[in-house]
Amino acid sequence: MTWLLAALVGVYLLRTWLVNGGLRTRHETQRSRFSPYLILGHAGLAALGLTVWIGFLVVDAVPLAWLALAVLAPIATLGFTMFGLWIRAGHGRPSGRHAYGPRHAAEDNFPPPAVLAHGIFAVSTVVLVLLTAVTN
């Protein structure tokens, strides 16, 4: 269930990124700090991992739980990378007298509660998949 919740919030974040010009390279908007390979790779691997997990739930084959856990490793790495880029840039809200002006990159439109919810569901997913794989 946590994986599905993480996926739903992730789809919302991906849609927000795309609608706000995440794939655009025009000069009137700032380019995204997220490479399309980074964000689409994260989303694609997450979809693959969720598919493997659903397969585990359907057939109850323990190797599929371990495979889902293995797929979660690069998903989490890409997710932490994007989170680091997003948080380091102040997610579009510079403060202080020496702060740079906002870039208005696509990811600056991410609502912080959505990013937090996605992260909490994702970390919960990793822990629960690990516990499931170990106890079966």
Task: Please state which of the ranges 69-73, 81-85, 120-124 shows the lowest mean pLDDT.
Answer: 81-85
The string of pLDDT tens digits covering residues 87-118 is: 887 654 555 554 454 556 788 889 999 999 99
Dihedral in degrees, nearest 10, Cα atoms 74, 78, 80, 86: -170
Rounded average pLDDT over 39-66: 96
Boundaries of domain holding 50: 2-135
Angstrom CA distances, 78 to 71, 89, 101, stand at 11, 17, 27
Q: Do 79 and 42 contact (CB within 8 A), yes or no? A: yes
Res 30 pLDDT > 70? no
Q: For the chain, how big is the Rg over CA atoms in Å? A: 17
| Burial tier of 14 (Cβ tally within 10 Å: 0-12, 13-18, 19+) | middle
How many domains does the chain fold into?
1
Q: Do 13 and 114 contact (CB within 8 A), yes or no? A: yes
Give the pTM: 0.83
C-alpha 92/C-alpha 57 separation (Å) is 40
Res 129 pLDDT > 80? yes
Q: Which residues touch 1 (CB under 8 Å, ≥6 apart)?
A: none
Calculate the CA 123 to chain-centre distance: 11
The string of pLDDT tens digits covering residues 69-80 is: 999 999 999 999
**pLDDT at residue 95, rounded to an integer:** 54
**pLDDT at residue 26, rounded to an integer:** 56
Query: Which band of pLDDT confidence, cut at 50, 70 and 90, is reported for residue 1?
Result: confident
